Amino acid sequence: MTTEALKGEILAALADAASPEAVEAVRVAALGKSGSITQLMKSLGRMDADERLRTAPLYQALRETVSAEIEAKKAALGRAALEARLAAERVDMSLPATPVEPGTVHPISQVMDELSEIFADLGFAVAEGPEIETDWHNFTALNIPPEHPARAMHDTFYARPEAGGERMVLRTHTSPVQIRTMMSQKPPIRIIAPGRVYRSDSDATHTPMFHQVEGLVIDRNIHLGHLKWTLETFVKAFFEVDDVTLRLRPSFFPFTEPSVEVDVGCSWEGGTLKVGGTASWLEILGAGMVHPRVIANCGLDPDEWQGFAFGCGIDRLAMLKYGMTDLRAFFDADLRWLKHFGFAALDVPTLSAGVGA
Ligand code: DAH
């Protein structure tokens, strides 16, 4: 067969090849190990010098032409495949989206964001801890040893004892985050720790799961005055009233000394609560100076470091500020309630726009 005839045959086969696999088969048949062109190239070795000089350029030209045509066909098929895919995957951007009703931000999430915003402005970071907590972090390290009567006040959910006899608990308050923070960070410390807590209790004002925010400041020369100023600043920003009176009543918590319970002055006009004035008082949180033993339990020297702490129910803050009366409705996931009391997702609280936006 002449090289011209062979070329015609290969290019015809190539023209018929409609897939990358078919093109590859043509390539192997022509240029593969025992392909027709490869055979021709091999035959050059058996020719005498004159014949080879005449024939070699013909064969080489044939090989180059066929290789180039095969490459071109491969590229064309690739482009066609890409175009077909692009056409199949086209999205019609002009189609109207299926309308999705926007959800709302739960009042508790909203209040947590408000708290973070207010305390961030005062230089507090947000800390976290686990909800399934060791007995030691939840009680012992907080100066509530086993058999201490204060444990009975907490209606604790205990997990089954582990092999070593240790029982994990669902944390009954956010105070164990104080311990975790003091053990993992060097003072000065300024944190708040909002989160879920659990107690075996249920009525209109108690649910087995509820929310607290813990506050902790550890530094040198911290005193009760710092605590009072911080709480006053927080309550003013949170309720958006300047005329706020706080009343600190002596109290007892094992992890603070002295301990106080803090009431905010308020009035009830026509059945609705108004924060401000001193006509009536509403307890909002527990607080105190961190007990030296708690500081020592975390490996810090209580002669060098002091601080204050506070713990506050978030659900209660939300009820007071936004006027809900039954705590249980918070956790019913009733869409009508959520639509009524929830917040728009883009309604992010900022101090400048008002945290109660
Ligand atoms: N952990 C306490 C509770 O759940 C609240 C509390 C009181 C936290 C005083 C504190 C504090 O940090 O200083 O009842």
Q: What is the pLDDT of residue 357?
A: 41
Of the listed ranges 55-69, 135-149, 298-312, 342-356, the least confidently predicted one is 342-356
Give the count of beta carbons closer than 10 Å to the beta carbon of residue 15. 11
Q: In this structure, is residue 356 part of a structural domain?
A: no
User: CA–CA separation, 200 vs 210, rounded Å?
Assistant: 11
- CA-to-CA separations, 37 to 30, 41, 53, 65, in angstroms, rounded: 5, 6, 17, 11
Q: In this structure, is residue 269 part of a structural domain?
A: yes
Same domain, 50 and 163: no
CATH number at residue 263: 3.30.930.10
Same domain, 113 and 43: no
272-275 and 168-170 beta bridge pairing:
unpaired
In terms of residue numbers, what domain contains 212?
A: 107-341
Question: Looking at ligand 1, which atom is closest to the CA of residue 175?
Answer: 1
The protein residue with its alpha carbon nearest to ligand 1, atom 4, reads 173
What does the pLDDT look like over 126-180, one tens digit per residue?
999 999 999 999 999 999 988 887 777 778 999 998 888 888 999 999 999 999 9
Same domain, 61 and 189: no
What does the pLDDT look like over 290-310, one tens digit per residue?
999 999 999 999 999 999 999
Question: Looking at ligand 1, which atom is closest to the CA of residue 216?
Answer: 12
217 lines ligand 1 (CB under 6 A): no
Distance 311 CA to ligand 1 centre (A): 4
Question: Looking at ligand 1, which atom is closest to the CA of residue 197?
Answer: 4
Same domain, 115 and 38: no
Question: Looking at ligand 1, which atom is closest to the CA of residue 172?
Answer: 4
214 lines ligand 1 (CB under 6 A): yes
DSSP string of 184-238, one letter each residue: HSPSSEEEEEEEEEE-S--BTTB-SEEEEEEEEEEESS--HHHHHHHHHHHHHHH
Of the listed ranges 23-37, 98-112, 217-231, 306-320, the least confidently predicted one is 98-112
Same domain, 218 and 250: yes
288 lines ligand 1 (CB under 6 A): yes
Tell me the three state secondary structure of residue 357.
coil
Same domain, 178 and 55: no
343 lines ligand 1 (CB under 6 A): no
User: Phi first, then psi: what are they for 33, rounded to 5°?
Assistant: -50, -45
Same domain, 115 and 81: no
* Mean pLDDT value across the chain: 92
Is pLDDT at 249 greater than 60 in this prediction? yes
The protein residue with its alpha carbon nearest to ligand 1, atom 2, reads 311
Q: What is the pLDDT of residue 292?
A: 98
* Mean pLDDT along residues 320-349: 87
Q: 292: cis peptide before it, omega within 30°? A: no
Give the count of beta carbons closer than 10 Å to the beta carbon of residue 91. 6
Q: What is the pLDDT of residue 206?
A: 84
Percentage of the chain exceeding pLDDT 90: 75
Q: In this structure, is residue 133 part of a structural domain?
A: yes
